[in-house]
């Protein structure tokens, strides 16, 4: 079942989302205890505007309500402000104000951006990522030309999933220390 996240989903969402942080090898998070990170992100999950807010999160659950996967997305116009709610918490994570977790621009004008797509390890390989992508395509509000995402060069399996879902490479960029391919799906084609 696909549904939008609710505030109470935070504790189940964080371990799934954390897979992406680990793959990205975010330098600023290397020394942050996982419990502290999860506590902070669960608090921010409850907010309206944070990058990983419940309002930006689509979930796939099984018939018992167990969260199997997630997709976090937002309009490109929000990218400049989506991390502002994190700033007051940086010191609690042992970070300074100049240690932004996501300093790189990831999306382009006219795009609805898929920031995160992740499936719990137990459910990988069962088509959940494809189902979330299909559902997300129907949830993008009118007025956007593309649904976009970035896929790490080191993750060819994810790239194949995106290609099967109709995404095409439109360029490359660096995010942190990794090189990514920027992929787009034309929404009004």
pLDDT digits (tens, 9 = 90+) for 39-81: 999 999 999 999 999 999 999 999 999 999 999 999 999 999 9
Residue that is written with structure tokens 């719990």 in the block: 120
- Token pair for 135: 């559902």
Reported as a single tens digit per residue, the pLDDT across 90-149 is: 888 888 777 766 778 899 999 999 999 999 999 999 999 999 999 999 999 999 999 999
Q: How many CA atoms lie within 13 A of 183 on its CB side?
A: 23
Identify the CATH number of the domain defined by range 2-186. Answer: 3.40.630.30
pTM exceeds 0.85, yes or no: yes
Pairing type for strands 111-119 and 146-152 reads parallel
Bridge partners of 58? 4, 71
């Amino acid at each position: 079942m696909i549904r939008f996240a609710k505030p109470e989903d935070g504790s189940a969402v964080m371990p799934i989302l954390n897979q992406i942080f680990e793959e990205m090898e975010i330098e600023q998070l290397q020394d942050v205890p996982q419990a502290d990170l999860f506590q902070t992100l669960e608090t921010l999950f409850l907010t309206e505007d944070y990058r990983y807010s419940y309002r930006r999160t689509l979930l796939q659950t099984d018939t018992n309500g167990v969260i199997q996967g997630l997709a976090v997305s937002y309009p490109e116009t929000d990218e400049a402000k989506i991390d502002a709610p994190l700033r007051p918490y940086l010191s609690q994570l042992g970070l300074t104000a100049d240690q932004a977790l996501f300093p790189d621009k990831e999306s382009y004008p006219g795009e609805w951006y898929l920031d995160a797509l992740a499936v719990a390890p137990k459910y990988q390989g069962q088509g959940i990522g494809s189902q979330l992508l299909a559902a997300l395509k129907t949830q993008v509000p009118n007025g956007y030309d593309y649904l976009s995402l970035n896929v790490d060069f080191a993750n060819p399996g994810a790239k194949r999933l995106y290609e099967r879902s109709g995404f095409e490479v439109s360029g490359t960029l660096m995010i942190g220390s990794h090189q990514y391919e920027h992929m787009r799906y034309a929404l009004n084609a």
